[in-house]
Amino acid sequence: MATLKEVAKKAGVSITTVSRVINGSSKVNGETRERVQKAMIQLDYQPNRVAQRLRASSGQSKLLGLIIPDIQNQFYSNIVRGIEDVTYGHDYAVILCNSDENPNKERFYLEVLKSESVDGIILPPIHQFGEEIESIIELGIPIVCVDRKLMRKKVDTVVIGNEKGGYDAVSHLIEQGHKKIAILTSSLQFSSFDERQKGYERALKENGIEIDKRLIKEGDPRSSETARELTDELLSLDSPPSAIFATNNLMTLGVLESVNKHGMQIPDDISIVGFDDLPWAKAISPPLTTIKQPAYEMGQKAAELFFQRVENPSREPEVVIMEPKLIVRESTAKLVNAQVKDTE
Amino acid sequence: MATLKEVAKKAGVSITTVSRVINGSSKVNGETRERVQKAMIQLDYQPNRVAQRLRASSGQSKLLGLIIPDIQNQFYSNIVRGIEDVTYGHDYAVILCNSDENPNKERFYLEVLKSESVDGIILPPIHQFGEEIESIIELGIPIVCVDRKLMRKKVDTVVIGNEKGGYDAVSHLIEQGHKKIAILTSSLQFSSFDERQKGYERALKENGIEIDKRLIKEGDPRSSETARELTDELLSLDSPPSAIFATNNLMTLGVLESVNKHGMQIPDDISIVGFDDLPWAKAISPPLTTIKQPAYEMGQKAAELFFQRVENPSREPEVVIMEPKLIVRESTAKLVNAQVKDTE
DNA sequence: TGAATATTTGAAAACGTTTTCATAAAAACA
DNA sequence: TGTTTTTATGAAAACGTTTTCAAATATTCA
């Protein structure tokens, strides 16, 4: 691959001049410029981004780091795609890291990204008080939190109104006559799940429904397995719930699997509200009622916040709260009388 | 962030010695070593990967490039995860690029990756004759093709037996008495889809079933929309198919959506075989019969081939063909007589 | 015309490593 | 003891850029 030096030699100028032609950083004589440009084309010159990065001051390295729990979780792959579509237009490359919600992996990758001189890092923080992340902020590397918040430090953040999402989901069920409503939430402590559960509780309270601890189940949000098992438990309760609210896409799958295995009909036997509106949600039978998170847009917004900070490093951190949206499809229905008798 | 220079100063040695301690590249006095290590710890020294990369010869840059059509397609996110889990153990970072099957984007990202001095690139090639990719191979940068093949150049490659996948899917339907079997395949020309269709045709031929062009539909494999529309067309045919074979996960969703919209029962009214066994396939009702691609393992294998090539740059390119697997669930069933009469 | 200014260019330093080459000191050998 | 070998270390070059500083030439002004 051609270097500045080779171009300079071919054009009979110094590398300084070539650099100037490339970056337009100061005037060069028209004739010289043409000569250089011709040489660049002839040699198919492309600047070496590694050398540029080494030389560059912060914010100029054209590299962005992403640490997500798991790219196999479609919620995150949607976020990643939103980010990438924005960075694409800025000539940035993106380094992708999967943390599995594992603090050691997160720590490892934060070190790698620092060492790669990234211009910034976008991530859903694992800990609400992330020391490592705080130390990175101190270093002046822009951080954008997405999906979850950081408590102690003010940082650019994109989240959805999780409390409202939970509230809307459960209110919808209550409107349809449901009283025994179960929730599947995360056993790992994250602000997002905590708030969804708060919304669940508020909806119940506001409607005078007592909270029944047996209907609150905590499982691993990284896969559908525990959700399936917990749903098995829920369905074998003496008085099982007439509706289940699953707080992320994988747990929703676990619920569906268990319900189907039990030969129950949705929504006749049980109503389901999921979280995350993924492509399969509207394709299945019955189509799933769900809380839609604008994951792709969250990614876009996070990337935009990052670029705004590169532009203006001293601006106040911004917290963007996006709207969750209840999409009513056919997995929820009015509680029929027979069942009401049954369960009351 | 601390540099070699600072560590050297603190330890009262030259940067050469510090470098030697880090890399163990040659003997240093035990006492000196300890002094250096202490300084490294005190300063929390981490080597700068950018500088290392600039200095490194090829194959030492610890950076791998990935160009995939779309990370939102879960088949690819599974591949990416498989790759990443292997690179993680090798201290590699991964740059992720989405091409949308757009040759210009692919070209753009290939340039970026070259310019980033990646040690290698893993991708499903868009063109069977990819000039740009060939020129990268000439440069000596290892390429691993995954999911699709490259025709003119021998390259490390991981694919599945697509023809067999198509054949198995359709044979299964034929065994159940289906004769009017539709296929939804890709309008974009890729080796994978071409072969799946070949398998479809061979299964029909071997069973003496004539190929009906009206039952072969080509749609955009990047989303479910055209598949939905094409299924609408299929279902409104004078004598509609009794079974549909969808050749990737997104097209499968389109088929399901259309079928459900028409109020048809699966498998009573129509049988469906999908491609790709994603988490939702077994959770939906009825659970989906599908051809499973070991996407995660394909990614792992591709990454392993890459590392083997780094290890031994001159070894013969290897083509690994993995097995697709028919997973029979409940979206396919014996064709009942009534229908047989109807359609014959 | 001479001085001041603007234009155009290049040499060299810097970014943080690894590696080559040289050399001083220590150890081994005769 | 003098010579050779081994051990331990550092100076400097290199990777490919960008940027600072200086200088040479051309242009403008009085």
DSSP string, B28-58: --HHHHHHHHHHHHHTT----HHHHHHHSPT
Q: Does residue B344 surpass a pLDDT of 50?
A: no
Contact across the interface for A77 and B78, Cβ inside 8 Å? no
Q: Does residue A284 surpass a pLDDT of 90?
A: yes
Could you check whether B4-47 and B162-293+327-343 share the same CATH topology? no
Alpha helices in A223-334 (DSSP H): 225-235, 249-261, 279-283, 295-311
pLDDT of residue B337: 58
Name the nearest CA neighbour of B298 among B144, B94, B187, B181. B144
What CATH number has the domain spanning B63-160+295-322?
3.40.50.2300
d(CA A300, CA A83): 5
Give the nearest partner residue to A81 out of B98, B253, B279, using CB atoms: B98
Contact across the interface for A283 and B253, Cβ inside 8 Å? yes
pLDDT of residue B59: 85
| Sign of the C-alpha dihedral computed for residues A139, A141, A142 and A145 taken in this order | negative
β-pair partners for A64:
A94, A120
Contact across the interface for B260 and A285, Cβ inside 8 Å? yes
Q: What is the mean pLDDT of residues A303-325?
A: 97
Q: How far is the CA of A14 from the C1' of D20 (A)?
A: 15
pLDDT of residue A220: 98
d(CA A192, CA A146): 10
- What letter would DSSP give residue B146? E
User: What is the tens place of the pLDDT at every residue in A209-220?
Assistant: 999 999 999 999
pLDDT of residue A341: 40
What are the residues whose beta carbons fall under 8 Å from the beta carbon of B26, sequence distance 6 or more?
A: B20
Alpha helices in chain B (DSSP H): 4-11, 15-23, 30-42, 49-55, 74-88, 103-115, 131-138, 162-175, 191-206, 225-235, 249-261, 279-283, 295-311, 337-343
Structure tokens at B37: 């290590």
What stretches of A1-133 adopt beta strand conformation (E)? 63-68, 93-98, 120-123
User: For chain B, which residues make up each domain, given as ranges?
Assistant: 4-47, 63-160+295-322, 162-293+327-343
Q: What is the mean pLDDT of residues B106-133?
A: 95
Architecture of the domain delimited by B162-293+327-343: 3-Layer(aba) Sandwich (3.40)
Q: How far is the CA of B7 from the C1' of C25 (A)?
A: 25
pLDDT of residue A212: 97
Contacts of B285 in chain A (CB under 8 A): 256, 260, 266, 284-285
| Residue A25: pLDDT band with limits 50, 70, 90 | confident
Q: Does residue A72 surpass a pLDDT of 50?
A: yes
Structure tokens at B27: 């003997």
Q: If residue A112 lies in a helix (H) or strand (E), which one and from where to where? A: helix A103-115
Backbone φ, ψ for residue A204 (5° rounding):
-65, -50
Q: Does residue B268 surpass a pLDDT of 50?
A: yes
Mean pLDDT, all residues of chain A: 95
What are the residues whose beta carbons fall under 8 Å from the beta carbon of A40, sequence distance 6 or more?
A: A2, A7, A18, A21, A22
Contacts of B49 in chain A (CB under 8 A): 112, 115-117
- When the candidates are 3.40.50.10440, 1.10.620.20, 3.40.50.2300, 3.10.580.10, the CATH number that belongs to A63-160+295-323 is 3.40.50.2300
Q: Does residue B111 surpass a pLDDT of 80?
A: yes
Say if residues B294 and B275 touch (Cβ distance below 8 Å). Answer: no
Give the nearest partner residue to B279 out of A46, A253, A279, using CB atoms: A253
* Nearest residue (CA) to C1' of D13: B55
On strand D, nucleotides with any atom < 7 Å from a protein CB are 7-12, 14-20
Contact across the interface for A71 and B72, Cβ inside 8 Å? no
User: What is the tens place of the pLDDT at every residue in A152-162?
Assistant: 999 999 999 99
User: What is the tens place of the pLDDT at every residue in B125-147?
Assistant: 999 888 899 999 999 999 999 99
Residue with tokens 């054009």, as numbered in its chain: A11
Say if residues B66 and B123 touch (Cβ distance below 8 Å). Answer: yes
Q: Does residue A58 surpass a pLDDT of 90?
A: no
Give the nearest partner residue to B96 out of A96, A117, A283, using CB atoms: A96
Say if residues A61 and A119 touch (Cβ distance below 8 Å). Answer: yes
Q: What is the mean pLDDT of residues B209-227?
A: 97
Q: Does residue B237 surpass a pLDDT of 50?
A: yes
Fold of A4-47: 434 Repressor (Amino-terminal Domain) (1.10.260)
| Sign of the C-alpha dihedral computed for residues A198, A161, A316 and A53 taken in this order | positive
Distance from CA of B309 to the nearest CA of A (A): 21
Q: Does residue B342 surpass a pLDDT of 60?
A: no
Mean pLDDT, all residues of chain B: 95
* Nearest residue (CA) to C1' of D16: A51
- How many CB pairs (< 8 A) connect A and B? 150
Q: Does residue B250 surpass a pLDDT of 80?
A: yes
Say if residues A84 and B98 touch (Cβ distance below 8 Å). Answer: yes
Q: Does residue A45 surpass a pLDDT of 50?
A: yes
| Residue A337: pLDDT band with limits 50, 70, 90 | low
